[in-house]
Chain A
Amino acid sequence: MKFSRLAVIGLLLGLLMAISVAPAAAQELPRNETLYFNGQQWGSVVGWNPYSSNNNNAMAITQADSARVIMFETPYLYNMLDGQVYPLLADGPYTWNDAHTEITFKIKAAAHWSDDTPVTAHDVAYTWATHVKYMTPTGAGNVDYIEDIVAADDSTVVIKAKLSDDGTAVNPLIVQAYVSTNYVIQKAWTETLEARANFDATALLADTAEDVVYSGPYHGYFWDESKVIYIRDDNYWGQDASMWGKLPVPKYLAHNIFADNAAGTTALKAGEVDVSQQFNSNVQDLWLVDGLPISTYLPEAPYGIGASLPTAFYNLNSHGLDNVAVRKAIAIAVDYPTIIANAMTNQSATFEQVPRSLMNPTAGEQAMYDHAAVADLQWAGNDIEGAKALLDEAGIVDTDGDGWRELDGQPLRYVATCPNGWSDWQAAIEVVAAAGAQIGIDITTNYPEWSVYQTVVTKSDAPLPEGYDIFMMWSDGAGPTQPWSRIRKLLSSEFIGMTSNWNGNWGGYSNPEADALIQAIPTVTDEAQLKEMYTELVRIYLTDVPSFTLMYRPQSFHTVNESVWTNFPYDGDGTNPPVPPLDMTDGWGIAGLYNLELVNP
C-alpha cells in the first residue's frame, strides 16, 4: 500500500518534470490560432535549404507552377483559375521589351527579409547566379532558356532570354514562367552558405540551412518525426498596404505526419485537420452520410477543378504497340466511366463532360483548340465492338484459336503497371487490363515499388524492360506555360535518350511534325494561329495515340473541415481575383489565408 502510493507520487513527479522540460512547441498549440493540414508532408523534415531539392519539406519549399509561398516568395503569384500572374515581391506587372527578349520588373519598396534588410534586385540576380554556378535543379532546368538575370538598379530586375540564331528568344514561355515559379533568396545569406560549404556544390546542396533568411509570412517553429509547425512572422512585410494590408489569419500552420491516407482521413473526420490535400475516397460521404462540416471546392462531383491528366503510356518498342491499330483499340475499349466512378470515386470530370484532348478541363485551356475539328477523333471509351473491328481490319486476329489475337504470329500479351500503393492508379490500371480481355489482348497487371518504378520509367536512354508495356505516369497540371509544357512532355521526342528523364514521353514517341509545332508555339503570339497549332497537335495525339488519358485530376485535393475555421475558398465565393483551391499555400491560393475566419470567434 505504502509502496504503491510512493510509486504514484514518483510517477506524477516524473511526468511533471517531463512536461516542464519538453520544448514549448511540443505542447498543445492554441486550436483557434492554428490551421492544421494533411497530405502535403510525408516523413520528417530534412532541411530548409531553398537551393536544394532534398529537404523533404514540402510545406515550406516547393517551387512549381503554383509555387508554395508560405516561407519563401516568388516575384509573382500564378492563379490557375484565371491564368494570370499577380505581383508578390514584384511591384506591378512585368514588361517584355519590344524585341520580346527581356523581361523587366520592379521589386516592392516595402518588401524586406526576416532580418529586416530590404529585398532588392541584387537578391534576384544573385539567386539566379547561384543556381547556375552550382547547377541546382532550377539552374539546370532554365539555363538553356535564360541568358542572365541582372539588377539594373536596387529595385529593377532584368531577365535576359537566351536567343536563337535569328535573334529571337529561344523560349519566351519558360522565361516568363520563371518569375512565378522560382523563389528569391537573400544574397547575403547565400554568401554565408557558400562560404560555409567552401564553394562546393555538393556541400551547398546538402546544407540543412536552419539559419536561412526568408521573406514569407511563416517560418519553421518546431519539427520532428511526428509533425512540423510553422509560426507566423508578425514582422512580415506583406502587411504593408502595398501588398495584403494585413497579416495572414492563423498564427500557426501545423502538419501532423500521418502514416497513410487512412490516418489522414480519420484525423480530418475528427476535426483535427482543417485542410486536406489527399485523396479521400467517396469524399461526399463525409457530409452526406456522416453529416460532418466538411466541404470541397465544388459542392457536387467532380468536387475539384481538374488540372492534370494522369496518363497511360505505351512502350512503343513492345511487340505490337508500334502498331497504331493496337494502341487505339486498347484506348477506345477502356471503360473510362468506371475508372472515374470507381477508381476516382467521381472526383474527376468524365470524358462526356470534357472530351479528351491534350488540354485540362479548365475553361481557359479548353478554349485553346477547335473542338469541332477533332470531334470525330475523340472517344469516350467502352467501344468494344469498335476496337474489335479496328483490329480485324488491321488483320490482327486470333489465328491459333486460343482466344488471344496475334500480330506477325506472335500473341499480343502485355503487362500494365503503375507504382504499388498508388490506390487510384492501381484501380485504374485494373480497368485497363479488363478491357484487354474483352478485345482479345492479354493484359495482366503488376505493381512494382515506387523506388524501382521511377528508376525504370525515367531511364530514357535505353528501351524499357519487360513488364513496362503500358504504364501510368502524370502530366503537367495548370501553370503559366500550359498547355504547351504538358503537350511537350507528352509528345516531344527531345526526351528520348536522356539518362534521367523526369519530363515525359517515356514511351519513346517520335513525330517530326509534332516536334516542329512544339518548337514553334512558344514564340507565336497570334491567338488564332496558336489555336490552329494546338488543334493540329490534338489531332496528331488522338490519331497516333502514343498514350491516353485515364482521368482528370485536381492540381491539389482541397477538402476542408469547418469545425474551427471557415471562409475557405469555394466556387462562387465572390473573391476577386478568385482564390484557387490550392490549400491556401500555393500561388495565388495563399490569398485564402488572409480571408479565414473562426467559426466561433
Chain B
Amino acid sequence: MRYMLGQIFSSVRFRIGFSIFAFILLTVLIYPLIITEPPLKTISRGTFLSPGIYVNVYDSIGFSPQYTLLLDGAAERRIAAKLNADDRASMKEWLVKAGLPEESIDTQDTAALLEVWHANFDPTIRLPGMTNADRNYYIRLNTALDGLLATEGATIAVPDATTGALKEQAVVDQTSYVNIYEVPNSRVFPLGTDNFGRDVLTELVAATGVSLIIGFVAGTVATVIGLLLGLISGFLGGFVDDAIIFVTNLFTVIPSFIILILITFSIGQDKRGAITIAVVIGLTSWVWTTRAVRAQVISLRNRDHVNLSRLSGHSTAYILMADIFPYIASYVVMAFILQVSSGILAEAGLSILGLGPRTTEVPTLGLMMNWGMIYQAHILGKWWAYFPVILVIALITFSLNLMQTGLDRVFNPTLRE
C-alpha cells in the first residue's frame, strides 16, 4: 500500500492534480468556519456590486478617528474622478454648438472652463443634432460639477429632534482620512455580489461544496451500477450478458444528456433537490463503465486462478469480489474519478438550461451560472458573477482529470514509465 502510494505520488501529473483538488476541498471545508454567514443571504441592496472593500460612510464620518494627510495631487485626482478628458471635450463641444468661439474655451484650465460652462449651460436648451441621451449626459455632468473646485470642507449636519432645524455636527476637511481598520463597519467582497445581492465568494465556496457532493454521489451511483452490471455481464456471459449488453447498447446510442434532460424535466421543479439531480445524473452515466468493466472481466474470467477458485466451489459473488475485482480495482477508481468530474459538468449543464436543483435551498455552480446569465452578467461585463464559477468548474475537472491520468500512468502497464 505504502509502495503504491509512493508510486502514485511520484507522478507529477497526479501531484499537481491532487494539490489543486486538495486546495479546493480544504477551502470548502475551512472557509465556512471563518465566514459563518449563510451563503444565500442577501447582503447588498443593488445588484452586481463590484469586488472591493466597502467602508461604512456614516461610521467613517462620525465614529472613526480622523487623520490629516498632505498628499500631493489629491485635489487633481479628486477633480479628475468627476471630470475627465472626454468630459472636458464634451463640454467644449456643447459650448461651441451653443455659439461660443472655439478658441475662447481652454479645456485644460479647469477654473476657466467651469466659469464659461456655468455662465452658458442651460439644461432646457436642446441643441441641433443633440440626442436625448446627450442631453441626459450633460445634465448629469452639470450636477457632478457642482462644488468641484471648492477648497473648504463639507459640513455634516443633523436635524434637531424637536425643531427639525439642521445643526452643524462636524466639518470634513478635504485632507481628512480614516484608517479602514478603525471604521467599525466595513466589508470585503473579494468577488463582489451577484444579482440577488449575495456575496459571490461565500456563495461560490458553498456551491463548490454542493457541486462536489453532487459529483461524488453521481459518480458513486454510476460506478456502482456500471461495476455491478459489468461484473455480472462479463462473468456470467450467455443470456444475462446479452440482456445487459442490449440495454447498455440502447443507452449508448441515445445521448445520455438528452435522457438526463428528459428525466429531470419530468421530475418537476418542486422535487428537484441537489441529491435527486445527482442520482439522476448517476443513473444516466453508467454505460461506459459497464462496457469497460465487462471487457476486462471477460479477459479475466478464464485465468487459472479464477478456474481454480471455481473448482474449489466458491460462489460467484465470492469469485467476483475476491478473484476478479482486485484486478480491475485500479481501473474502477480511475473511472470513478472521471465520473465525478463529468457529474459536476452535467449538473452545471442542466442548471444553465434551467433544469438544475430548485433554487432556495442550496447554491450550486450551475445555478450560479444560470442566474448570472438570466441577469445578463456576461453582457453587462459583470465578470465576477460568472467567471470565477467557470474557473472553479474548470479547476475541479482539470485536477480530477490530471489525477486520473497520473493514476493511469502508474497502473496501466503499457503507459508505465
Contacts of A573 in B (CB 8 A): 132
Contacts of B137 in A (CB 8 A): 287
Give the Cβ gap from A157 to chain B, nearest Cβ, in Å: 39
The distance in angstroms between the C-alpha atoms of A537 and B44, with both chains bound, is: 36
The distance in angstroms between the C-alpha atoms of A410 and B267, with both chains bound, is: 28
Contact B360 A566 (CB under 8 A): no
> Which one of B57-65, B182-190, B339-347, B371-379 contacts A?
B371-379
> Which one of B17-25, B45-53, B161-169, B282-290 contacts A?
B45-53
Taking CB as reference atom, which chain A residue is nearest B131? A562
Taking CB as reference atom, which chain A residue is nearest B374? A423
Cβ-based interface call for A269 (8 A): yes
- The 8 A CB mask of A556-575 against B (1 = contact, 0 = none) is 00001010001110100100
Partner of B270, one of A289, A338, A415, A567: A415
Cβ-based interface call for A497 (8 A): no
- The 8 A CB mask of B373-417 against A (1 = contact, 0 = none) is 111101111000000000000000000000000000000000000
Partner of A345, one of B47, B358, B359: B47
A342 and B42 in contact, given A282-B380, A562-B131, A599-B129 (Cβ under 8 angstroms): yes
Number of A-B residue pairs at CB separation under 8 A: 105
Contact B380 A281 (CB under 8 A): yes
Contact A562 B132 (CB under 8 A): yes
Cβ-based interface call for A80 (8 A): no
Cβ-based interface call for A446 (8 A): yes
The distance in angstroms between the C-alpha atoms of A415 and B131, with both chains bound, is: 48
Contact B129 A295 (CB under 8 A): no
Contacts of B131 in A (CB 8 A): 293, 295, 562, 566, 599
Contact A282 B48 (CB under 8 A): yes
> Within B98-146, which residues are at the interface with A (CB < 8 Å)?
129, 131-134, 136-137, 139-140
Contacts of A262 in B (CB 8 A): 373, 376, 378-379
Cβ-based interface call for B177 (8 A): no
Cβ-based interface call for A379 (8 A): no
Give the Cβ gap from B263 to chain A, nearest Cβ, in Å: 16
Give the Cβ gap from B369 to chain A, nearest Cβ, in Å: 13
Contact A342 B195 (CB under 8 A): yes
Taking CB as reference atom, which chain A residue is nearest B45? A341
Partner of B379, one of A265, A346, A448, A566: A265
> Which one of A98-106, A426-434, A538-546 contacts B?
A426-434
**Main SS class of interface, B:** loop
Contacts of B132 in A (CB 8 A): 295, 560, 562, 566-568, 570, 573
Contacts of B270 in A (CB 8 A): 415, 446, 448, 467
> Within B268-297, which residues are at the interface with A (CB < 8 Å)?
268-270
Taking CB as reference atom, which chain A residue is nearest B42? A338
> Within B13-33, which residues are at the interface with A (CB < 8 Å)?
none
Contact B47 A341 (CB under 8 A): yes
Contacts of B136 in A (CB 8 A): 287, 295, 299
Cβ-based interface call for B361 (8 A): yes
> Within A244-294, which residues are at the interface with B (CB < 8 Å)?
261-262, 265-266, 269, 280-282, 285, 287, 289-290, 292-294
Taking CB as reference atom, which chain B residue is nearest A261? B376
Cβ-based interface call for B196 (8 A): yes
Contact A295 B46 (CB under 8 A): no
Cβ-based interface call for A445 (8 A): yes
- The 8 A CB mask of B179-211 against A (1 = contact, 0 = none) is 000000000000000011100000000000000
A342 and B269 in contact, given A433-B360, A445-B360 (Cβ under 8 angstroms): no
Give the Cβ gap from A1 to chain B, nearest Cβ, in Å: 41
Contact B269 A281 (CB under 8 A): no
The distance in angstroms between the C-alpha atoms of A289 and B382, with both chains bound, is: 11
The distance in angstroms between the C-alpha atoms of A600 and B131, with both chains bound, is: 11
Contacts of B375 in A (CB 8 A): 281, 423, 427
Contact B373 A445 (CB under 8 A): no
Contacts of B195 in A (CB 8 A): 281, 342, 427
Cβ-based interface call for A458 (8 A): no
Contacts of A430 in B (CB 8 A): 196, 359-360
Give the Cβ gap from A296 to chain B, nearest Cβ, in Å: 9
Give the Cβ gap from A421 to chain B, nearest Cβ, in Å: 6
Taking CB as reference atom, which chain B residue is nearest A572? B124
Contacts of B268 in A (CB 8 A): 448
> Within B205-232, which residues are at the interface with A (CB < 8 Å)?
none
The distance in angstroms between the C-alpha atoms of A294 and B44, with both chains bound, is: 26
The distance in angstroms between the C-alpha atoms of A415 and B358, with both chains bound, is: 12
The distance in angstroms between the C-alpha atoms of A420 and B270, with both chains bound, is: 11
Contact A338 B45 (CB under 8 A): yes
Contacts of A261 in B (CB 8 A): 376
Contact B46 A342 (CB under 8 A): yes
Partner of B47, one of A282, A467, A568, A599: A282
A341 and B197 in contact, given A261-B376, A299-B136 (Cβ under 8 angstroms): yes
Q: List 25 A-B contacts (CB under 8 A).
A: A261-B376, A262-B373, A262-B376, A281-B47, A281-B195, A282-B47, A282-B380, A287-B136, A287-B137, A290-B381, A293-B133, A295-B136, A338-B45, A338-B197, A341-B46, A341-B47, A342-B44, A420-B269, A426-B374, A445-B360, A562-B134, A570-B132, A599-B129, A599-B131, A600-B129
Show the binding face of B for A, using Cβ within 8 Å.
Answer: 42, 44-48, 129, 131-134, 136-137, 139-140, 195-197, 268-270, 354, 358-361, 373-376, 378-381
Other than the known A295-B132, A447-B358, what 5 A-B pairs have Cβ atoms closer than 8 Å? Answer: A282-B47, A415-B270, A430-B359, A446-B270, A447-B269
